[in-house]
A and B are shown apart, each in its own frame.
Chain A
Amino acid sequence: MTTPALEAQGISKRWPRTGAVLEDCSLRVERRTVHALIGSSGSGKSTLLRCLALLDPPDSGSIRVDGVLAAGEGAVAADPNLRRSIGVVFQEPSLFTHLTALANVALAPHRVLGLDPGDAHERARRALDRVHALHLGDRHPEALSGGERQRVAMARALAMEPTVLLCDEPTSALDPMLTREVMAVLRDLALDAGTTMVVVSHDMEFVTAAADSFDFLHAGRIRISGSVDRLGTRGVDDELDRFLQRS
């Protein structure tokens, strides 16, 4: 069996005040596949994603990136080398307001990877092109629409050429028009054979069309997982049926 791009074992996370949000979650994301995390609001999807992104440490359990232990007992705390191999697109684009779109994308390749400005820009242009935003390069974040910002944020993550790209409901803050625009880009990325992605999404149409596998979270636990084909058949799980009915 090949080493998975991302593997989580028994992740639990509780917040001091609100209590448990994740309990014993395990998942496995194979290379060059798209994995969807689905579930209703408050089911723990975003928390799981933040753990996978190494932004919040899990209370227990372990995370391996490309087979290397990144979180859990015995892991080097917050190793930047490992973190940069995981790209993240958040619900809010969070672009750096003092830089143009191109510089937003080129900053990390230049400062973190140490590429010289010419190479960093070349990489940034390629990444912008992948999200159909090359023409926005010299714009300021203030001069971009919500959808354009989110596309630039995707390019910013892609420019680091991460092992795996995590997307946390990148359309949740957008209106339907802009949602379509961003979903189209996300779909292109997902269908691109080389990409390994974990996507948190409500959009079942997108999930069935673009994802290979899924985990269904309910109340902090992974209830059902497997190939997206399973989403076509009802009656496997009541909660999943209820969720699919609502969305």
Chain B
Amino acid sequence: MLRALAPLLVLAATLVAAADDGLSRVRSTKVMRWGCDVSGGAPFAFPDPSDPDRVIGFEVEIAEELARRLGGRAERFSADWLALIDALEADRCDVLINGFEVTAERKRVVSFSTPYFRYAQQLVVRSEDRDRFTSLADLTGRPIAVLNGSASIESLDAAGVPPSLIVQYDDSLAPFTETILGRVDACLQESFISRFFAGHDPRLALVDATFDPGVYAVVVRKGDAALLNELNAALAGMQADGTLGRILQRWGLWDDAQPALGTQRGPVVATIPEAQGTPPEDGLPWTLVLWSLARAATMTALLTVVSMPIATLAGLLLAIAILHGPKPLSRICHAYVLVTRGTPLLVQIFLLYYSLPALGAWLGIPELLTWNKVVVGIVCLAANYAAYEAEIHRAALQAIPRSQWDAARALGFTRWQTLRFIVVPQSWRLSLPAIINDLNSLIKDSSLVSMIGVQELLAVALGIGKASFAVPSMLVAAAAFYLVLSLLADWFGQSLERRARAVRALPEPIHR
């Protein structure tokens, strides 16, 4: 699905006018906004399994140290990994630090700092296949799992593996799971990720020979030269005084390849337990985890509770405009419904979040059009569902018999009075069950706004699951929360229906 978005995202990127100089912004606000995807998994930046609200990882520590050296503090910006470059272009953050391999393709769009980490590609196979597959050549004609958008794809491509055999997944854990389950015969990832996830799992074996080395570097907007220079200076300092070496050691990432980048090891430090890459021994800290999920569920509830009433009301106005408005307005509203229903919600979220600021910059009003991600989420959900609700209202309005209009007209009601006091109160009763149905589906669709980094229920559950090797149980837990929200919605819907059925005995009193 994301591949289909590529042309739009390119459009978004080209719309971007030159953003503010990143360095002066960091200097004036004393904040370095760094982008990453917290659901990408360990050891980059991920929820601490023993305290899921905290995000930890070696890149968190690098970001904090860099920010300190630039004279400010680090502020994390989260979004889906594939959307991070667009977020940078849209000035949602100043830098990206999230395992961005330096590739020629990316260099055309963004600038890279000097590298902070060196890796190589490493294959992982099922342990029983240990002797059968000892190199990429042994896997000819077999499917290989990789992380979506990673350098492993280019490595396989360069080695002549046809695209049909390169199976891409959205997170780093899935390729290993797929290998264990036998859906693929091997997976290829950066060596330390392979070590982290597969090194302790008896069902998996690492293929010794690594190949295609590469480096990670900090990403900045193209042309943001001042910020790039400062970052390079800060990185050089961290490499020379052993700060970077210490971070890499703490996270079990230190190896013989690192000094080649000029990184000093510094004093020997032990690997911290979080970097061991093993599931927590005493299982998940469920009290904390459920607490995190409950809070994420309130975000899901907030998105729903705010956007659905807007969608319902906007849908009613759209339907009235379509049926009773002047012809041009009616056509515009009808076109809105067709376009909104005919395009994916995900695309709408992306466009509003990344292209609207670009449009704002182009128009010279960037502040006006750069909205907070929760606001963007609510606006998108409300605007998208309004189109569906409009059709429900339209059907209900048309179901009110012509004779009701005649009776009202004969009594002297104007058209708008007839709609307000006679037709809509009756059509509302007809449309309510379908609207409650949509309310239920909105609860679940709201998880799409996690693409722009809103920490709602599904995103938080997946983040914790991937960091704790417990994706299935976290998904079940999330499903339970969704079910509770959905039952609440149904209960609310039923009480609304009861109220709508109850006859209004008196016209609303006029307060004097």
Contact = CB atoms under 8 A, between A and B. Distances in A.
Contact of A86 (B410, B422, B510): B410
B507 A55 contact: no
A156 interface: yes
A108 B509 contact: no
B503 A94 contact: no
B26 to A, nearest CB: 60
A19 to B, nearest CB: 22
Contacts of A81: 412
B403 A94 contact: yes
Contact of A84 (B401, B412, B425, B505): B412
Interface in A70-125: 80-81, 83-84, 86-88, 90, 92, 94-100, 102-103, 106-108, 110-113, 116-117, 120-121
Nearest to A98: B425
A50 B72 CA distance: 79
Interface in B191-224: none
A20 B403 CA distance: 23
Given A55-B409, A80-B414, A111 B507 contact: yes
A140 interface: yes
B507 A103 contact: yes
A128 to B, nearest CB: 14
B411 A112 contact: yes
B417 interface: yes
A163 B241 CA distance: 99
Contacts of A190: none
Nearest to B401: A94
B504 A103 contact: yes
Contact of A94 (B407, B504, B507, B512): B407
A127 interface: no
Interface string B497-512: 0000001111101101
A208 to B, nearest CB: 28
A198 to B, nearest CB: 13
Interface in B395-420: 401, 403-404, 406-407, 409-414, 417
Contact of B410 (A53, A92, A98, A102): A53
Contact of A96 (B417, B426, B505, B509): B426
Given A103-B504, A116-B510, A94 B404 contact: yes
A138 interface: yes
Contacts of B412: 80-81, 83-84, 108, 112-113, 160
Contacts of B507: 103, 106-107, 110-111, 117, 120
A48 B235 CA distance: 91
Contacts of A117: 506-507, 509-510
A157 B412 CA distance: 10
Contacts of A96: 404, 407, 422, 426
Interface residues of A, number: 37
Contacts of B410: 53, 55, 83, 86-88, 90, 157
Contact of A90 (B407, B505, B506): B407
Contacts of A106: 506-507
SS class of chain A's interface: helix, strand, loop or mixed? mixed
Interface residues of B, number: 25
A153 to B, nearest CB: 8
B421 interface: yes
Contacts of A108: 411-413
Nearest to A138: B505
A117 to B, nearest CB: 5
Interface in A138-162: 138, 140, 153, 156-157, 160
Contact of A121 (B401, B429, B506): B506
Given A84-B412, A111-B417, A140 B406 contact: no
A214 to B, nearest CB: 23
Interface in B454-512: 503-507, 509-510, 512
Nearest to A110: B507
Contacts of B406: 55, 88, 90, 94
Contact of B417 (A95, A112, A140): A112
A82 to B, nearest CB: 9
Nearest to B420: A111
A87 B411 CA distance: 7
A92 B406 CA distance: 11
Given A111-B421, A112-B412, 12 more contacts: A55-B409, A90-B403, A92-B403, A96-B404, A98-B503, A103-B504, A107-B411, A110-B507, A111-B417, A112-B413, A157-B411, A160-B411
Interface of A: 53, 55, 80-81, 83-84, 86-88, 90, 92, 94-100, 102-103, 106-108, 110-113, 116-117, 120-121, 138, 140, 153, 156-157, 160
Q: Top 10 closest A-B pairs, CB basis?
A: A84-B412, A88-B410, A108-B411, A94-B407, A94-B403, A112-B412, A140-B503, A98-B425, A110-B507, A80-B412
Interface of B: 401, 403-404, 406-407, 409-414, 417, 421-422, 425-426, 429, 503-507, 509-510, 512
24 contacts: A80-B412, A80-B413, A81-B412, A83-B409, A83-B410, A83-B412, A84-B411, A86-B410, A90-B403, A90-B406, A90-B410, A94-B403, A94-B404, A94-B406, A96-B407, A98-B504, A99-B504, A100-B503, A102-B506, A103-B504, A107-B422, A107-B507, A111-B413, A111-B421
